[in-house]
Each structure stands twice: as C-alpha cells, then as structure tokens.
A = this chain, B = another copy of it.
Amino acid sequence: MVGMEPWECWEWRLLRAATELRGHGFQTCVLTNTWVDDTPWRSLTAALQEQLRSHFRLALESCRIGAATPDPAAFSRALEALRARPQEVIFLGELEENVVRARELGMATVLVRDAESALRDLQEITGIQLQVGAEALPEPIAPEEVAHGYVNIRPGVRLHFAELGRGPALCLCHGFPESWLAWRFQMLELARAGFRVIALEMKGYGESSAPSDIWEYSQEQICKDFITFLDKLGIPQVILVGHDWGGAMAWNVALFYPERLRGVAVLNTPFRPPDPDSDVLEKLGRIPEFEYQLYFQEPGVAEAELEKDIGRTLKILIRSSSPEDRLPFDLNFHRVRERGGLLVGFPEDPPVSRLLPPAVLHYYIQQFQKSGFRGPLNWYRNMRENWSWALSARGRTIPIPALMVTAGRDPVLKPGLSKGMERWIPRLQRGHIEDCGHWTQLERPRELNGILLQWLRQLPPPPFPANSKL
C-alpha cells in the first residue's frame, strides 16, 4: 500500500509509480484532506478527483471518512479500507507531521521533497525498478475496468463495445485478428484528454455477433452496420480511428458517410481508390506479400489452421518487431498455399509475445473461443464486392480532416503503399513510427498516443455546438 497526499500526486511520475506498483500487486490508496465542494467551481474539483481516483485502487477523502491526517483516525480508516497492518504499508507524504505519525504507527515512510528522490526511496523500499521515465508505457486498462455496451443492430446482429470517458465521441476499430482490447494503451489517455472513447469489438469477434454469411462482412454491410450503431446510440458524428481492417472500414466510412465523421485516422492501412481496369483478386495475386489473403479465400481452410490452437496462433501472429521478440524465423506471407498454411513450421508452444502478456492473451483467447475465426476471415472474402462498391464512389475524394500513421516495419502494409494518398485526401496529415511492426497500438503506444493526441488537439471544432437543439 502506498498513501499519498493530493499535492504531490500531481507530479505525474509519482502517479505513474502508483499505477505501476498497483500493476505489481500492491494495494494503492490515496488519502486526501478535502472538503465537500458545493460551490459553482465544483466541476473542477470533480474532474481533479476523478483523475486522481483513476490512478489508485482506493481514494479516501477526509470529508467522507470523517477524519483528516495527521489524526490517527484517518490512518486507521485507511488501514481498515486496505485491510492491512501498518507493517505492510509504505506511506508517502509531503508534510513532515504526517510522515512522522505514519512512522510512529509502524509504517515504512517516504518524505516527499521532490519526485526524483521520492522515487529513489520508493524503489529502494519496494525493491521494484519503476519505469516512470519518458520511456514508460501508457497506463493500460483491463476489461473489467471499463463499461461494456451492446447495441442490437438488427435481428441476429449485435455489436459489443467498451466505453470510457465523456466529451466528443471517438470510435476505435481494431483489425484482424484482434480485439477491442488492442486499444488498451489508448483508451485511458484518450479519455483523460476529454473524449468519450468507444472501442468496438468488430463484427465476427468475441461478444459481437458472428453471423456465418460471407456478405455480412462486405465493407458495404460493415459500414452500414456501423452507421446503424451510431444511430442507435444517438450519436450523429464521431472521430473514427481504425487499424488494419478497421482502418479499411474507416476509409470507407469517410468516403461513403463523411457527414458522420468529424475526422478519420488510420493506422497502417493505406487508402487507394480501386483500379477499374484490373480485377482485384488477380491484382492481389501479383503482390507476393498479399498471397496469404488468397489462402484465406476458401472457407474452412484457414479456419482449421488458426482455430487449432488459438493461443499458438495469436502468439505467432501478434509479435513485436524487436529482435528480442523474434521467433526462429519470421512470418512469411508469400506462397502460403504452397506451404500448406501460415503457421507451418513454427514451434507448437511459442514463447510469450511481448505484445500479449499472459492476462491479455488469456482474454483474447477467451474472446476467440466464442465464435472462432470464420467471421474474422470473412472480412477477406468480399474482395470483388468491396472493389465494386469502391468503384461506385470513383472520382470522389476524402476532404475531411484525416491522419495516416505508417509503421516502418509492417511486413505487409508497408509505408510505401501510402505514397501519394494526398491526391485523394487533400487534408491528410501524417505520422510515422519507424521502429514498429504491424501491431502499432500495442508495440509503440506512447509514440502512437502522442501522434493521435497532437492530431486530435488541432481538429477543427464542429461548426455547430455538439448539443445544439435542432
């Protein structure tokens, strides 16, 4: 347990330390001397409190527990709430009198004079090397920490989403083969920046419906469902962020339903208008690293391979581009059919992926066990339909605010493919992360969040207030 007082809490490195210790299994509690604020400025108090509370497992306020530090009663309440003995507690405080009292009670203490030395002391007492510098990962969320929503789109189709925050709606759409939890490093930071973050579980995945028909996964149908999703939530306009297939969808929503988007941001997936003169599947066959998509065409084949051992599949597919995370050889997207599968030759029990710590992998597996890979693979099985739908918008541009984030080491969606997108997307802004593979949100969350937030902060506000009366 770690006690803290509010003022020093605002040193973000100490807040990060609290979160990190919580991740290491510590019970954390913030103990503040505060008052019930019923003034006209109480919304600031509420916002500060809510931010503070989000960093700790427990938040005890003197005005609600009926005792303020250094009153020993305040310490007793904290111990009760934490179900801890003083000897199990580390107390951090800025006021000497509080630290002295805590020490008298038998707690280990840190007198906070500056963050630097406090962190050093904390590391020494806990024996944990805290990653609180600029290189630290953003704070992740866990599935049970956010709200889960469900929308009935039409009979047989419902979409699941995770929701956090208030303000303008920001929808996050994952790709293949993933989960809404792919955005676990983004949700909290985006919500704290003032957005209502809605991370969709895409059709075919987990708790969203997975109808078996292939046409259900055509881009036209997927986009139509997304519009119905917004209608049923009563949200006229959102900012849409997509990755991989979620990115393809995002570009199509921008093209076919631009009025529903305040802006569109896509990771890895480039936008290309369709080529009317060459059949899309033939064209695909000519790009070696897209050959796996042809392997995915025959219903049942890739399902059998990918569903055989879901954990193995995910551990082989979802890995970072760093050398430490490499398997004996790299995934090869060429000549997959010839080799008889995508995962052929990989170890039966690959080492843990840096991108999927055990609890996250466990959640992914559990979600895939619900309806398997058929739905996810069906996204690939509408190539001609998607092509001809795209052709129906031929000549149209995407003039709304847009962001393209490329990843230097994506073996399939290479940055070069995005060259010249400005021709069709005149207001395109760009971000690039060189040392990053395909799983951008998981591999370089800090860099990605920086790029997203910078773009979001300069988005023009809607010309009409969000809650105008019509």
Contacts and interface: CB of A to CB of B under 8 A. Distances in A.
A149 B398 CA distance: 33
A191 B234 contact: yes
A87 interface: no
Interface stretch (A109-117, A158-166, A289-297, A331-339): A158-166
Interface in A40-75: 40-51, 53-54, 64, 66
A41 B168 CA distance: 17
Given A43-B462, A150-B148, A259 B38 contact: yes
Interface string A182-201: 00000000011111110000
A258 interface: yes
A232 B46 contact: no
A287 interface: no
Given A234-B191, A236-B166, A64 B149 contact: no
A470 B48 contact: yes
Interface string A434-462: 00000000000000000000000000101
Size bracket of the A interface: 35 or more
A233 B165 CA distance: 6
Nearest to A144: B152
Stoichiometry (number of copies): 2
Contacts of A234: 50, 54, 164-166, 191, 197
A359 interface: no
A468 interface: yes
A41 B464 CA distance: 8
A260 interface: yes
A463 interface: yes
A297 B260 CA distance: 53
Given A149-B148, A467-B168, A43 B400 contact: no
A41 B463 CA distance: 6
A164 B469 CA distance: 16
